[in-house]
Amino acid sequence: MSFDLPRNVILPVDDIDVRLDPGPHPFARDNAEAIAENWQHEIAANPALFDGMVVLLSQLAYRDSRLIGRCHAVNYSTFMLWRKRRENSGAEHAYAHAMLVAGDNALVAIRMGPHTVNAGRVYFAAGSFEPIDFRDGLVDVDFNMIREVREETGLDLSGAERGKRYHAMSTSSGTVIFRRYHAAAPADEIARRISAFVATETEPEIEGPVIIRHAADLPVGLSPHMKPLIEWHFANGN
């Protein structure tokens, strides 16, 4: 199966069957020395980095509105080397976005903090899948979305109205799985709540909220994958 899904197009997704393989990822197994060496360079440049656990895919396919795949837990240091050697690596990255839709239909994204790997980048509050995001070996995408939004913004989306289905877009840099989460409050109020939360954090992950009010309202630092997601939202109803 390896990686078999259309690229650079938004796909409807009704089911996600991505499972955590307990074995090592071949990329981690085959590049142990280079991973350790690169990590020393990474932490010398940014001592705030933490070598926690994330997951990398070894397979992903799209069939009949389903995503089917296999992933493996790897150290963040492995992920950092993979970012530099992703071509023909036998590994790919998937991540999830809770697309936060305010009561006035504006989107509320975030700008990442200066000490993070993606410093200054704008996207929806999100993070890589981790082993805690799996239930009996199967990924729980909504758990990951809600967890990451809470950690970065202080918002609790567990009771928010959700879009009927997921969507996904796969590019050469990774596959984003996204779903609308609707909040009743207007965007300005949501942004105030996020800013208040960030002000209480000793080392906040994000710089602050970013409101996007229409398809042409593209902020400086917007991650490349975000533009088609924003256009999709404003071109499609709930």
Q: What is the residue-averaged pLDDT of the chain?
A: 97
Give me the sign of the Cα torsion angle 70, 119, 213, 195: positive
Q: Which domain holds residue 129?
A: 3-235
| CATH number of the domain within which 129 lies | 3.90.79.10
Q: What is the per-residue pLDDT across 146-172, written as a single tens digit (0 to 9) for each?
A: 999 999 999 999 999 999 999 999 998
Stretch 174-182: mean pLDDT: 99
Q: Is pLDDT of 137 > 80?
A: yes
Mean pLDDT over residues 214-237, rounded? 97
Confidence bin at 78 (pLDDT 50/70/90): very high
d(CA 190, CA 211): 9
Write the pLDDT tens digit of every residue in 183-198.
Answer: 999 999 999 999 999 9
β-bridge pairing 166-171 and 174-182: antiparallel
Q: Are 13 and 175 in contact (CB under 8 A)?
A: no
> What integer is the mean pLDDT of 59-81?
98
Domain count, the chain: 1
- Cα separation, 107 vs 180, in Å, equals 10
pLDDT band with cut points at 50, 70 and 90 for residue 223: very high
What are residue 93's phi and psi, to 5 degrees? Answer: -120, 135
Say if residue 208's pLDDT is above 60. Answer: yes
The span from the CA of 234 to the CA of 215, in Å, is 6
Residue 1's pLDDT is what?
57
Tell which residue, 178, 170, 162, 166, has the closest CA to residue 124.
178
* DSSP-assigned states of every residue in 16-32: EEEEEESSPPHHHHHTH
